């Protein structure tokens, strides 16, 4: 099967200069007067609701260091830090625009901000963290999209990800279907995080 590569790396690193409230569940639910809250059983932001959900399964007293990959406007992490003052937080984001917005939102908290591509981090980078959160951004990672007919020779980047998909397919017996869209970025990132031995991982995508 031939593929093309869908990647948002350049957009997020160099072009993104807004994140409309309607584009993420987190942003849509953050204002206390948001009409989107009317359909919920609990009138709360996503960060508060997510924390209350996760604490049913994660022993937060044993969680100290957390990492949010792709922190949006910083609203989710602010809720976590307000609910649990024991947490030490790091944000890793490829977007300089969003990283600056996160710094504004989280200015009264002791947070480490890192501008970098999570896919370019080695597994060792993730070892110190007890909990890693990736909220509403799985679809932003590089994706292999099947192509029919005659396609040009793959670029170096495309060939790299195709080879990685083949390696993962063999290593974990994933058995990708011939027409399956492969979120290769998510697979590679999750593999690195798991290899680092991170105990608790939360991944989500709303689209």
The three-state secondary structure class of 99 is helix
Per-residue pLDDT of the chain (207 residues; tens, 9 = 90+): 789 999 888 877 777 777 665 578 888 899 899 999 999 999 999 999 999 999 999 999 999 999 999 999 999 999 999 999 999 999 999 999 999 999 999 999 999 999 999 999 999 999 999 999 999 899 899 999 999 877 778 899 999 999 999 999 999 999 999 899 999 999 999 999 999 999 999 999 875
CA distances from 44 to 36, 188, 201 (A): 10, 33, 22
| pLDDT per residue as tens digits for the range 144-186 | 999 987 777 889 999 999 999 999 999 999 999 989 999 999 9
Q: Do 29 and 37 touch, CB atoms closer than 8 A?
A: yes
CA 167 – CA 191 distance, rounded (Å): 12
CA 110 – CA 141 distance, rounded (Å): 28
The three-state secondary structure class of 94 is coil
| pLDDT per residue as tens digits for the range 190-201 | 999 999 999 999
CA distances from 81 to 21, 87, 128 (A): 21, 6, 18
Domains and CATH numbers, the chain: 2-13+45-203 (3.40.50.720)
CA 26 – CA 88 distance, rounded (Å): 21
């Amino acid at each position: 099967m031939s593929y093309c590569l869908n990647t948002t790396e350049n957009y997020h690193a160099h072009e993104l200069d807004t994140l409309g409230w309607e584009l993420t569940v987190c942003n849509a639910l953050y204002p206390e007067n948001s009409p989107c809250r009317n359909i919920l059983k609990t009138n709360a932001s996503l960060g508060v609701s997510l924390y209350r959900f996760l604490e049913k399964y994660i022993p937060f007293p044993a969680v100290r260091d957390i990492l949010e990959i792709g922190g949006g406007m910083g609203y989710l992490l602010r809720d976590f830090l307000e609910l649990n003052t024991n947490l030490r937080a790091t944000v890793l984001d490829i977007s300089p625009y969003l990283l600056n917005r996160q710094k504004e939102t989280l200015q009264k908290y002791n947070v480490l901000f890192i501008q970098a591509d999570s896919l370019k981090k080695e597994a060792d980078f993730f070892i110190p963290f007890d909990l890693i959160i990736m909220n509403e951004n799985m679809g932003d990672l590089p994706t292999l999209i099947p192509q029919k007919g005659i396609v040009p020779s793959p670029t170096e980047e495309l060939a790299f990800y195709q080879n990685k998909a083949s390696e993962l397919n063999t290593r974990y017996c994933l058995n990708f279907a011939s027409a399956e869209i492969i979120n290769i970025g998510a697979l590679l990132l999750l593999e690195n995080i798991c290899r680092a031995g991170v105990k608790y991982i939360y991944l989500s995508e709303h689209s």
